[in-house]
A and B are shown apart, each in its own frame.
Chain A
Amino acid sequence: MGKFFAVTVGILTIVSAGIFMFHVWWLPPDISVLGAGIDHQLNETMVASGILFVASQLALAVFVWRSSGSTGPIKIFPGGATPMVVIAVVLVGIEVAVLTLVGSKVWAGLFMVQAPANALQVDVQAEQFAFYFRYAGPDGKFGAMDPSKVSDANNNFFGLDPANDTTARDDIVAATLAIPVNRPILLTMHSRDVGHAFYVPQLRIQQDFVPGLVIPLHFTATQTGKYEIVCTQLCGLGHYNMRAYVEVMSDSDFAQWLKTQANQ
């Protein structure tokens, strides 16, 4: 039975690690400027922890194979606990230090720098169970949001007040996030009811919506196409179906899109 265990651990380890190594299932292609950093960080970690994983599992398997049912005199691991402590502190310590240093840089690039000045600002409203996106319109100003004005029935998802608020009249509200390619996008994220999250795997970006907070999030898409935005923060019964699309377009297409939206 000890031998069985050793073999099983061996097989499980090889198979598990192999599936990772050969990318049987893997991240979708990256289409954002900062995504590369994350992928690199992920691969680094994958290699480091992969080695640790295989090494310790196989060591376990080998030791069990050798010692199960043995009746000979016991042997103490050479050096006792010291090598263990050293290995852990040095190897893992270095790994941790490296990952932190490099990783913090990537993280900082994502979340700790201001969006560039030329960033296109899009206002995002998350609600049970949909995302809505608002563009400032020709006047470049966003109308004020008044919760009491919110009416899904009349497509007033942001609670605009065109009657009295002139800046609100030309705001463009869409259920799709259309953005120009290769241009920094700044999302200002609001939630109207409960916590939600904004997640686009291809953009390698994810951020919670927190009711009561306006959270900035910026990224730059590098490839045109249509990708799914999904909610990753449990928000109620429709959570699984809370989604929208981000359409990355050429500048001309985007200008065109804005026009058609404005005319409605």
Chain B
Amino acid sequence: MTTPVRETVAKLTELKHQPPEGFWRRYVFSLDHKVIGRQYLDLALVAVITGMVLSWLMRLHLGYPNASIGVLGPANPSQMTPEYYLQLMTMHGTIMVFFVLTTAPFAGFGNFFLPIQVGAEDMAFPRFNMMSFWVTFLAFVTLVASFFVPEGPALSGWTAYAPLSAIGKEAGPGEGLGQTLWAISIALFCVGQLLGALNFIATTLDLRTKGMSLARMPFSTWAWFTTSVIGLIAFSVLLPACILLILDRVAGTSFFIPAGLVFNDQVQTHSGGSPLLWQHLFWFFGHPEVYIAILPGFGIISHILPAFTRKPLLGPKVLIGCMIAIGFLSYTVWGHHMFLSGMNPFSAILFSVPTLIITIPATIVTLLWIGSIYGARLRITAASLFCLGFVSVFVSGGISGFFLAQPSIDTYLHGTYFVVGHFHFVMGVAAMFGIFAGTYFWFPKMYGRMMNETLGKWHFALTFIGVYCIFMPMHYIGLAGNVRRYSSFTDDYLQPLLPVHKFMTIAALFTGAAQLIFFYNLFRSRFKGPPAPPNPWEATSLEWSTPASPPPFDNFGGKHPVVTQGPNEYGTAGAKDYVMQAGGEA
């Protein structure tokens, strides 16, 4: 498809096609999508470590309520205060959802590999690309800064429901400057992701190389492309929502604050706003965001699995169709977060139907993965193990969606640990497994060195068992009515569940410790790993046709690969059992 856009874009990218000089341009303010991709991943690494530590503190407090967690409770040196717990929870959620699950699989791997997989020399808009990272970085700094402001960071949860989040410090500690910084941070994040999404879309549509028809794009590229379309719409709704929230907080407007609220016996001056407006705006972003986090995982798994089953993935077109269907449906289901929010109960039914329907494409995809393992020549590596693990946890997490999608059952389960277990499995753990799989698979191409497989397998085994021990029990105590977002469980009917919380805490610390193996492996291999051959996994897609690992500045050393077939050409019965997408030599 030769469009005027394509030419302009091509020109734009040609402009910069000589490698930059100097440390700053090369490693810090680089226009190279590969550097930006690594920067995103490093940011995600810092974020995930932060978020994980926060979750340890929370679990410690829940498992051992009277344990003195020392200096960690700023309000009180010897024990975690309720507000500090909620602040940890809010920051854990925000950091993980925005700065890990969105940046790593989408912005990180996507930036590095999408242009290569479509055979482009760089992103369509390299300057936007750089801007997108640095804006995101700024957002992260802003968020973390709120730990150091008086009364600490926001405590209204990653969903920041108004008016708690909108009214200001009257609503309690954490609702002062901390909450404002939260809103600013998320607004900045939206800008960053919008720039990224535009870039991904333009690159996919206009910079594909010779013969790279849409149908021949790797699944990962398809996933990133779909994700960026979702993101473009989702973040462009969250951005104004955050701006309105900021205005409510600092400019005295009342978008989300109704009249006649009383805090500490004082009537507030706001009037005319609607708390439900925030919920609708937030979840219109929030539910697609779940798929922004998981769809790249779909793509990465579908991309990696065939390389280790050594056979084509079942129904590639079906798979891509399902991903698109999920992306589309994700915009019709946001209300299932609001069944009990006081919106018209009839709309609950309207929202629950597409929510249940979305399980159909999800089921198809899962079955396609499982079916693709049948009769395979399965090669067990850290990467393939995490793919298989992904399928397992995605099933475990997805199934519980059946319950929460139904308003009647949600009437009981809403706001319990059942929900926490559900989204941690399906969104958190599954997406993390996708990230791990991608890391083990692509690391050789990204850093030119192999990771240690033995450590990788240990990492998988411990993590896989660990996450089941943490998150499965959450479903049980959820059924028993254990309410989420409680800093301690004082209610009589929750007392019998405390041992379960202790168990989950121990499991969480154990699993967290297992991640140290990964970090060690990551850093050691980066500098000491054995040099990587150009195509260690015998994979087909273009990133493995690049002349070197890591690829040269323009990815293909001045040449433009010609693609003759799709990426799914495994299991051929000749001298080699796979056909590279760019088999040609000229």
Contact = CB atoms under 8 A, between A and B. Distances in A.
Tell me if chain B binds chain A: yes
A209 B346 CA distance: 18
Interface string A192-220: 11110101010011111111110100000
Interface stretch (A98-106, A131-139, A172-180, A247-255): A98-106
Given A28-B480, A212-B275, A237 B172 contact: yes
Contact of A233 (B161, B174, B345): B161
A56 B367 contact: yes
29 contacts: A1-B380, A2-B378, A5-B389, A12-B468, A37-B408, A45-B406, A48-B402, A52-B363, A52-B399, A80-B314, A81-B315, A84-B318, A88-B361, A92-B359, A96-B357, A100-B353, A103-B408, A153-B265, A159-B262, A193-B262, A195-B164, A204-B411, A210-B342, A211-B258, A211-B261, A215-B342, A232-B484, A236-B86, A239-B86
A44 to B, nearest CB: 9
A48 B400 CA distance: 11
A107 B411 CA distance: 8
A77 B349 contact: no
B437 to A, nearest CB: 14
Interface string A31-70: 0000001100110011011001100110110011011111
A26 B171 CA distance: 35
Interface stretch (B43-51, B488-496, B525-533): B488-496
Interface of A: 1-2, 4-5, 8-9, 12, 16, 19-20, 24-28, 37-38, 41-42, 45-46, 48-49, 52-53, 56-57, 59-60, 63-64, 66-77, 80-85, 87-89, 92-93, 95-96, 99-100, 103-104, 106-108, 110-112, 127-128, 147-148, 150-153, 159, 192-195, 197, 199, 201, 204-213, 215, 228, 230-241, 243
Most buried by A among B173, B342, B372: B342
A67 B373 contact: yes
A234 B164 contact: yes
Interface in B248-305: 257-263, 265, 267, 273-276
Most buried by B among A75, A233, A235, A237: A237
B479 A237 contact: no
B396 interface: yes
B415 A206 contact: yes
A206 B411 contact: yes
B351 to A, nearest CB: 11
B460 to A, nearest CB: 8
A26 B81 CA distance: 30
Contacts of A99: 356, 402, 406
B392 interface: yes
B149 interface: no
Contact of A197 (B257, B340, B370): B340
B414 A206 contact: yes
* B82, B363, B573: most-surrounded residue (chain A CB, <10 A): B363
Contacts of B391: 60
Contact of A26 (B162, B175, B267, B479): B479
Interface string B57-90: 0000000000000000000000001110010000
Contacts of B477: 25
Given A85-B364, A92-B359, A67 B315 contact: no
B117 interface: no
Contacts of A28: 480-481, 493
Contact of B375 (A74, A108, A231): A74
Contacts of A2: 378, 380
Which has the most chain A C-beta neighbours within 10 Å: B162, B359, B479?
B479
B415 to A, nearest CB: 3
Nearest to A35: B412
Contacts of A111: 345, 348, 407
Given A56-B395, A88-B363, 9 more contacts: A20-B475, A38-B408, A45-B402, A57-B392, A69-B379, A100-B352, A100-B353, A211-B275, A240-B488
B388 A64 contact: yes
B457 interface: yes
B486 A239 contact: yes
A207 B464 CA distance: 36
Interface in B223-259: 257-259
A210 B164 contact: no
A67 B374 contact: yes
Contacts of A241: 82, 490
B513 interface: no
Interface string B372-404: 111111111000010011011001100110110
Interface in B74-118: 81-83, 86
A16 B472 contact: yes
B345 A107 contact: yes
Contacts of A152: 265
For B164, B276, B361, the residue with the greatest tally of chain A CB atoms inside 10 Å of its CB is: B164
Contact of B406 (A41, A59, A73, A210): A41
A57 B397 CA distance: 12
Given A19-B476, A159-B262, A241-B490, A53 B396 contact: yes
A192 B261 CA distance: 5
Contacts of A82: 315
Contacts of B476: 19-20, 24-25
B340 to A, nearest CB: 5
B373 A195 contact: no
B177 interface: no
Contacts of B491: 228, 230, 243
Given A81-B371, A103-B406, A193-B262, A69 B480 contact: no
Contacts of A67: 309, 373-378
B363 A193 contact: no
A127 B364 CA distance: 46
B218 interface: no
B88 to A, nearest CB: 13
Contact of A147 (B260, B385, B396): B260
Contacts of A95: 402
Contact of B173 (A77, A235, A237): A237
A92 B573 contact: no
Contacts of B156: 234
B497 interface: yes
A240 B408 contact: no
A89 B309 contact: no
B4 to A, nearest CB: 38
A234 B399 CA distance: 26
Contacts of A45: 402-403, 406, 409
Interface string B141-177: 0000000000000011100011110010001111100
Nearest to A39: B412
